[in-house]
């Protein structure tokens, strides 16, 4: 696991820092002796610094050579997804979904960039691949999703519903709305089905009840005749599966 490998390496570097602080303290005392003209201390601290300097070289080289984790292979496999999911759940009770070779954590999609030894979170390159750091960022982004984001989605659903149905009906399958949104170049890549489902769930729990113009809305859940391809399924924080089929506007 990358988390374990980095933790072990971090502890090795901590030991180097501890040794380096002793060397730094000797250098500072040496400098002070020069500033004050304290000849005895100058000789003492110069000798101590000269003694400590060689002792840093070998352990530094040893620690540098000790890193053997193949980060590229890790990012090319599904191990990074499993570890980020597990870390997110353990540290933040954050449910992160997997879709193909990506992770979905509303409002972003996470992809690996093995050649760069990095991730992509949303549209931004993310070079900090340590799982606990990635999990913390996903939690931050999830918390940042506000009612304003959900309001924008609601306005988009309303506008799309007006395009795909008659004004006297104002009901649309979410699949039809999703397909309409996907006409925009690049939109589907950044918003796969699982991500869109998470956005619907965020709107559902936002407390919003109407568009800015005052049109109330409600989601419709699938009946026995609904096709699986028309359903957006989201796993809620309590483990329940919530299935979205359509949306009504009044």
E strands along the chain, which residues? 97-99, 102-105, 108-113, 118-121, 124-126, 171-173, 217-220, 232-235, 241-244, 246-249
pLDDT at 194: 85
pLDDT at 147: 63
Domain range list for the chain: 2-69, 72-144, 147-249
**Given phi > 0 = left and psi -120 to 50 = alpha, else beta, which region is 100?**
left
Rounded to whole angstroms, how far apart are CA atoms 240 and 147? 22
| End-to-end CA gap in the chain | 52
pLDDT tens series, the chain, 250 aa:
999 999 999 999 999 999 999 999 999 999 999 999 999 999 999 999 999 998 899 999 999 999 999 999 999 999 999 999 999 999 998 888 888 899 988 778 899 999 999 999 988 899 999 999 999 999 988 877 666 688 999 999 999 999 999 888 999 999 999 999 999 998 888 888 888 988 898 899 888 999 999 999 999 999 878 899 999 998 776 678 899 999 999 9
């Amino acid at each position: 696991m990358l988390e374990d490998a980095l933790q072990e390496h971090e502890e090795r570097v901590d030991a180097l820092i501890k040794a380096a602080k002793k060397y730094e303290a000797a250098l500072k005392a040496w400098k002070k002796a020069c500033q004050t003209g304290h000849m005895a201390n100058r000789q003492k601290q110069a000798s101590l610094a000269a003694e400590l300097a060689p002792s840093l070289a070998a352990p530094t080289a040893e620690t540098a050579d000790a890193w053997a984790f193949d980060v590229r292979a890790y990012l090319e496999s599904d191990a990074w997804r499993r570890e980020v999911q597990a870390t997110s759940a353990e540290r933040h009770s954050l449910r992160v979904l997997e879709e193909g070779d990506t992770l979905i954590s509303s409002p972003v999609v996470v992809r690996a960039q093995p050649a760069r030894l990095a991730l992509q979170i949303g549209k931004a390159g993310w070079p900090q691949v340590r799982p606990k750091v990635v999990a913390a960022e996903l939690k931050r982004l999830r918390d940042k999703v506000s009612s304003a984001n959900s309001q924008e989605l609601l306005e988009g659903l309303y506008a799309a519903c007006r395009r795909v149905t008659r004004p006297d009906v104002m009901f649309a399958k979410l699949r039809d709305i999703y397909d309409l949104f996907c006409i925009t170049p690049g939109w589907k890549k950044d918003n796969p089905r699982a991500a869109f489902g998470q956005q619907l769930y965020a709107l559902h729990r936002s407390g919003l009840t109407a568009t800015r113009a005052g049109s109330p809305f409600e989601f419709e859940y699938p009946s026995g005749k609904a096709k699986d391809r028309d359903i957006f399924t989201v796993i809620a924080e309590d483990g329940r599966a919530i299935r979205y089929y359509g949306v009504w506007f009044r």
